Structure 1
Amino acid sequence: MTSLVKAVDEKVAENANLKAFVVHLTDTDNEAKAVSTLRDLAAEKGIKEVPLTLMDTPAGPPSYKIAEDAEVTVLLWRFAELRSKHSFGPGELTEADIERVLADLPKILDE
């Protein structure tokens, strides 16, 4: 996931029309650890453009339909319309998958 966040951070820095944020789904018992992990990630990888946030609902918002077995889910929106969704189970996210996600960016930029 770190490589994906860094790649998206770089794309946001390159394009003022692109906005992104990361939401780490957790529960309240693990909230302090999750905050620490996100702060460390931002500092270590130099994440500057993409806010790293928390949601204390492990399943996420019901309308997002996050797969229960997903470790990483990427949703690409343009206004209120979902244009692309990628889900990856534990350990499944590869560099090729990151390239596929980045290749979908024109779907939300209307390029």
Structure 2
Amino acid sequence: MRAAWISAAAMIAITVAMAIMTGPASAEVTSGYQVGEPVGAAQVTKVAGNALDGIPAGQELCYRCRMGSRPVVMVFARTADDKLAKLLKKLDEEIEEHQDAKLSSYVNMLGADSDSLKKDAAEFVKINGIERIAFVVPKDDSKNGPADYKIAPDADLTVVCFKGGMVKANHAFAKGQLTDEKIDAIIEAACQMTE
């Protein structure tokens, strides 16, 4: 009887340890506007990317307003890493392929120091050869983005796909959760808006 109790206690301890180790990494993150919600205006400063949009680096504007009713992939990123580069390179290709539908995208870089964000974003664009995606820094709150955009502090990456100002898809990930399969799902959601 005692051996069975010890074995059961060991199994419980292993289960709890596994839950602790995998809990945060596998938890769903809710961040940003959700499907069916309208996307509001927000002031940003363009810092790099998309030389074809006619907006010079350093200009403050409402980029969302500038996009009008186009299909747009709006990204909020706290980490500029290889996975983000992979996502944006694929998205850059789709924007070129879907020029007739006016598919567009812009990335809001998030962090505590807006000056560093601006410098890092310009470097990221240059290193990764991203041509058709603008990089911006939110004007009022560079750490978490505009308050009414509801970007979760635990979301390392939030992707909101909208068309006609209404959200069509939302993808949010904690740090390290962006996989190749999830990148493909984001690209598919972007392409569906062009149909």
Q: Which residue of 2 aligns with 1:67?
A: 152
Q: Which residue of 2 aligns with 1:83?
A: 168
What displacement does 1:82 show?
0.4
Greater C-alpha radius of gyration: 2
Pairwise mapping of residues 1-111 of structure 1 onto structure 2 (< 5 A)?
1-16=84-99, 17-27=102-112, 30-56=113-139, 57=141, 58-109=143-194, 111=195
Contact residue 23 and residue 54 of structure 1 kept, 8 A: yes
Contact residue 92 and residue 131 of structure 2 kept, 8 A: yes
In structure 2, the CA distance between the partners of 1:106 and 1:10, relative to structure 1 (3 Å rule), is closer
SS at structure 2 position matched to 1:21: strand
What displacement does 1:32 show?
1.9
What displacement does 1:67 show?
2.0
SS at structure 1 position matched to 2:133: coil
Unaligned runs of 5+ in 1: none
- Matched residues in 2 for 1:42 and 1:72: separation? 17
- Matched residues in 2 for 1:3 and 1:37: separation? 17
Give the stretch that moved more between structures: 64-73 or 83-92. Answer: 64-73
Select the structure with the greater relative contact order (CA < 8 A; seq sep ≥ 6): 2
Contact residue 138 and residue 146 of structure 2 kept, 8 A: no
Structure-2-length-normalised TM-score? 0.52
Q: How many pairs does the alignment contain?
A: 108
Residue type of the alignment partner of 1:61: P
Structure-1-length-normalised TM-score? 0.88
Backbone CA RMSD of aligned residues? 1.4
- Matched residues in 1 for 2:190 and 2:163: separation? 10
| Cα-to-partner distance string for 1:51-99 (whole Å, 9 max, x where unaligned) | 1111141222233222221000000000111000000101111111100
